[in-house]
Structures are given as structure tokens and as C-alpha cells.
Chain A
Amino acid sequence: MATSGASASEAQIELQGIERVFHLGDSVVHALAGIDLRITAGEYIAVMGPSGSGKSTLLNVLGLLDRPDAGHYRLEGRDVTTLSPDEQAHVRSLRIGFVFQSFHLVPRLTAAENIALPMVLAGLPARERDQRVRQALDGFGLADRADHRPDQLSGGQRQRVAIARATIMQPAMLLADEPTGNLDRATGEEVVHLLEQLNSGGVALLVVTHDAAMGARARRRLLMEDGAIRHDQLMRDGVFHDAHA
């Protein structure tokens, strides 16, 4: 069984027997096959594995974008699998931040407006939004890019805007799907540093990546294959060891 060393009471996220099945024509694909996983607050986890191993599906389930066909998902002690879509949206709004490979910025909105979007959707007053956006722009080194639209920004700047947007609601967990996949090495590293900085600030960070070098930076590494977690490894003395070994 893949479990972290943390005790049950500390677990921020707890997955039990999570299954996700896709029907493609006649064939049945088990994208997730009986996943059990515990994540404590502030962890830094890299999810790795070949294409189609279920990494993204795991991320979607954790982000409440996708519903498991079986199993239980407890987020901060609350079973969120049974929530209605709107209740899940509310949880996403407050507790979860997403970072995508392709940034997913709204092209017609400026950097500042993109960052403010989650607060707009949550119905925060304009004054508080402006204040937080200004802080975020300063903090992410985007102060002089506030009024630029995404097509006027570099790849690294776009991803920084996306990360600023993902963290503006001060979520408990940041889910990043190949955050450096569309960036060159140097910019990618910049972005990773930024994410790690946020993680050291207390946000749990879960990164799906193909990049072994990036995966090696995490303190915990999940190796997935055929919808199951084959190895759950913790970094000890610069080397990964299976958590339950």
C-alpha cells in the first residue's frame, strides 16, 4: 500500500480505492485502478509515469474536476466525492489552484484581469481584488506587465501570471500539470523555483511531470503505471526510497 509516513489525523488529502473508468468504444480503460493515497499539508509531490498511466486523471480527481467511479476522496476531513457540482466548484474556488501546461489564460483579458479572475468569480469586492492583484503582480515580478494581454507576454511571464492566478485565492493545494512543458529550460527552472517558493510558504504542491530532473527536486515521488501507483518514494539523504519499504 502506498501511504505516506504521516498519521491519519494530519492527512490533508485522503484517497481510498479511487477508480476511474473510461469507455472508449467497446474497450474499457481503467485510468485509475484502486488508488490509495494520503497527502499531508504542505507536501511537495512529483507525479511521474509514462503517457496514459493516469497521472492527469489523478490530478483531475484531486482537483474535483473529475468524479471517480468508485472510492472516497476526503479533503481536509470532508468527503468531497458526494458533493454537488456547485459545492465542488465552491471548494475549488477556495482550496485548489490549477497550473496548466498551456497556461490557459483568457486571451482578451490583461495580465491583471487574468489574475483577478478567480476573485471575480468568487464575488470579492473590487477594492480587495485590486489590492491583492497589485501585491501578486509585485510578488511575481509582473508589475510592469499588468496591462499586457497574454499575446504580449513571454512564455515564462504567461506561466507566472497563471501561477499568480492559481494562488490569488490562497488555496491549500496547488495542482500543476506539466507546468514547464511549454517552456524552455531556463524559464522552466524559473517557474519551478517559483512553485517551490510557494510550497515552502505552506501550500501543498503536486506536480505532474515527464521531466526526471524536475521530478528529482520533489521530496516525494509517485511513479504511476496503468492507473496504479507503482512506487511511492520519499527523498532521504538525496536518494528516493519507497515509502513503505
Chain B
Amino acid sequence: MRTRDLLSFAVGAARGNRVRTALLMLAMAIGVAAVVTLTALGDGARRYVVREFSAIGSNLVIVLPGRTETGGINPGSFVSTTPRDLTVDDALALLRAPAVQRVAPLAVGTSELSVGGKLREGMVVGSTAEFIEVRQFKMAQGQFLPREDWNRGSQVMVIGAKLRAELFPNEPALGQFVRVGDRRFRVIGVLAATGSGLGMNTDELAVVPVSLAQAMFNTNTLFRILVEARNRDAIEPAKRQVSEIIQQRHDGEQDVTVITQDAMLATFDKLLGTLTLGVAGIAAISLAVAGILVMNVMLVSVAQRRSEIGLLKALGASGATIRAAFLVEAALLSAAGALFGYALGLAGAALIRALYPVFPAYPPDWAVLAGLGTALFTGVLFGVLPARNAARLDPVTALAKR
């Protein structure tokens, strides 16, 4: 039988029983649509996180106290095993590093903020004038913290957009006083609304000079030191120099962890990439189910078309021809269902994007290819058994049964 005839015969057979064809295509379509939509979700999550991290600031190197990696033995190991705290002086010392452009110390705590009779729990960040440049924030009103001695800050505060709206709903915020604990801060600026980043909502932050924050929280340690490298290529040297300087200052002990944004990004990228793969795997199960449905439907089809198969044999069709006819039919139906499902999946991803515009739910190319490929493969694989059954049918009994 010629290939063209085989195809048109299979198409004819598929159109001959529309309910069966629709059912089979639907099963395949649901499987492929599940793969496309779910991977779009997974990959969307990955893109979303990567984008959020990029928003923290460029060329960022972050120093955090404590060691999360095994470093091996160095002279400091014999002196002490307790990690030293990060201090403002550590942060100042980092400015010596040639690859470093800016440094912003970070002390964080929660406290009660009150204006007049209004009281609110809020996150207070102690930092310096460099903070806004390192994090690349924009001001909505007023100015950011003034450039001054890091160890002697003035009693001023910069608040986030949401905090401003809540504390000063009907009046200008600039120049007003906010009480934090037993101190009063004059509001000198309001940050532009940005949304969240690095796990804290910047719109709800209150930023004060680092020395005052430390005094309020009764500590002299820092939560983080944010370091901005001179450019993208300087990130690695900056990381190395920062490590060396801190090690020198901490009696030769490597007791801080220095991470770069790239490393964090790579980790999250990998993590969420794996998640997407896992989700794709789960969705692929629906493809396997669809494959089994293909097999069932084709088996029923073989049973229903016994007399036709008997006739084809009587007319001189070989077993191979009949096998090919049923396989081509299964493959065609699977392919059509897969394409339909692909369209359905794209529509699903588009719907998610329409509902959550911040979420970039686009299916990755590999998932689309894998989904379509798997659909075709399972369709043919599960079409083999019915096709073999058809080819082995005894023509006499097949013709006798009407």
C-alpha cells in the first residue's frame, strides 16, 4: 500500500467514527496541554524569581556573618571557633578593596513606629547614604539619608511608599516626626513604590542611619554588608578581596559568607529549573494515561471493525499493511491531539499571564518539544498492540461476525 493511500485510508477511518476520534484526540490534547501549561507555570516561576533578584541591584556582592561552607584549616581555626560579628568598621574597611565601588552596611530589626496616636509595627533598616545607590531605589519625595560619619548619624528617616500612606494618609510626610521606641526621627524622604525584593517589602521599610539603628536595637553587629563591585567583571575580584579583608580583620578566620547575586541567581535558576522538570514529569504521567486511552480506544476500534479487517484480508491485504494502517491511524490521531493540546496549553499559559501580569508564564521550548514528542511516541507505542491484534485477526471469523 502506498504511503499516500495509507494516510488517506487512516484519515478516512478516523473520520468514520467521530466520537472515537474526538475522544482520543481530547485525551492526547489534555496530556499535552497539561505539560505545556504546567511547565509554563514552573518556568514562569523561575523567570519571576530571576527577575526579582536582578531587581535587587546590579553587580551586588553580599556579606553575611557565619560560615556556610567548609573552608579547611587556617591559623584562625586554632584561636577561636565562634564566628565574629560583622561591624560597621568591617564595612568601612571594605572600601579599601580596589574592585569595590560602594558599600552599604545593613542592620535590621522590627520596632513600633508611632505618629500622633497611630501605632504600627514596622521593619527598621539601619544603613547609610550608599544604600539607595547600591539597591537602585528611586525617591518619590525628599532626599535619602545624608552622607555623614557612619558612626554618628542624624535623627532622620526615609520611609517606604506604603508606610507613608498609612502613617500620613492626609498630610505631607516630609518634615513630620516619627517616634521609634524612645527616639524621634524627622522624615526627610519617601521611597518610590517598588514592590518586594530580597524577601522584604521595600514599600514598608523605614530607613534610618546605621549607628542609630544599632543603638536602638542595642547591638553593634550588622545583618548584612551590601557591596557593589565596580562592574560586572569586577564581581569575582570584589568577592575575593572582600573575603580577604574580612579574614584579616577577623584574626585570619574565614567566618563570613560572601555570596554574589550571580551565585544566588544560578542557585535559584537551577532549583526552579529542576522544579519545572519535576512538574513536567508529573504532567507527562497524563500523557502516559492518554497513551493507555489510545490503546483502549484502538482496541475497541479493532473489535468494532472486525469485519472490515476481515474484508481487507480477503481482498489481499497483508498483515503488515493492516498493522501499518492502524499504526498510522493511532499516530495521526495522537499528532492531531498533540497539536490541539499544544494550542490549548498556550491558551492556558496566556490565561495565566492575563490573570497575573507580573508572572511570565511562557512554556519553555524544550517542554513543548518533549510534550509533542512524547505524545506521538506514546500514541504509536500504545497503538502497536491493537495494530498487531488487527493484523493477527483470523479472516474467516472476522468476516463471519457482523
Contacts and interface: CB of A to CB of B under 8 A. Distances in A.
A89 B313 contact: yes
Contacts of B319: 85-86, 89
A65 B399 contact: yes
A93 B315 contact: yes
B301 to A, nearest CB: 13
A154 B307 CA distance: 21
Nearest to A87: B318
B318 A89 contact: yes
Contacts of A109: 12
A86 B318 contact: yes
Interface in A157-177: 165, 169
Given A102-B402, A106-B308, A109-B12, A118 B315 contact: yes
A89 B317 contact: yes
A100 B1 CA distance: 24
Contacts of B315: 92-93, 98, 117-118, 121, 165
B13 interface: yes
Give the contact-size bracket for chain A.
20 to 34
A227 to B, nearest CB: 16
A96 B395 CA distance: 15
Contacts of A108: 12-13, 15-16
Q: Is the interface of B mostly helix, strand, loop or mixed?
A: helix
A126 B314 CA distance: 21
A163 B1 CA distance: 22
B8 to A, nearest CB: 9
Interface in A107-139: 107-109, 117-118, 120-123, 125-126
Interface in B303-336: 307-308, 310-321
A150 to B, nearest CB: 12
A106 B314 CA distance: 13
B396 A121 contact: no
A39 B12 CA distance: 40
Contacts of B311: 104, 106
A102 B399 CA distance: 10
B233 interface: no
A40 interface: no
Contact of B307 (A66, A104, A123): A104
Contacts of A118: 315-316
A90 interface: yes
Contacts of B48: none
B12 A65 contact: no
Most chain B beta-carbon contacts within 10 A, residue among A66, A102, A106 = A106
A63 interface: yes
A60 interface: yes
A102 B1 CA distance: 26
Contacts of B13: 108
Contacts of A94: 316
Most chain A beta-carbon contacts within 10 A, residue among B310, B319, B395 = B395
Contacts of B396: 60, 65-66
Contacts of A102: 402
Contacts of B312: 117, 121
Given A109-B12, A120-B9, A104 B399 contact: yes
Nearest to A122: B316
Contacts of A169: 316
A126 B395 CA distance: 27
A235 to B, nearest CB: 29
B152 interface: no
B325 to A, nearest CB: 9
A63 to B, nearest CB: 7
Given A60-B396, A65-B395, A123-B2, A89 B308 contact: no
A86 B391 CA distance: 11
B314 A121 contact: no
Interface string A57-100: 00010010110000000000000000001100110111010101
Contacts of A92: 313-316
A102 B398 CA distance: 13
A92 B310 CA distance: 13
A90 B316 contact: yes
Nearest to B4: A126
A106 B308 CA distance: 7
Contacts of A93: 315-317
Interface of A: 60, 63, 65-66, 85-86, 89-90, 92-94, 96, 98, 100, 102, 104, 106-109, 117-118, 120-123, 125-126, 165, 169
Given A93-B315, A100-B399, A125-B2, 7 more contacts: A65-B313, A65-B314, A93-B317, A96-B316, A104-B307, A109-B12, A121-B321
The 4 A-B pairs with the shortest beta carbon distances in the complex, nearest first, are A93-B316, A108-B16, A86-B318, A92-B316
17 contacts: A65-B399, A85-B318, A89-B316, A89-B317, A92-B315, A93-B315, A98-B314, A98-B315, A104-B310, A106-B308, A108-B16, A117-B315, A118-B316, A120-B9, A121-B315, A121-B321, A123-B1
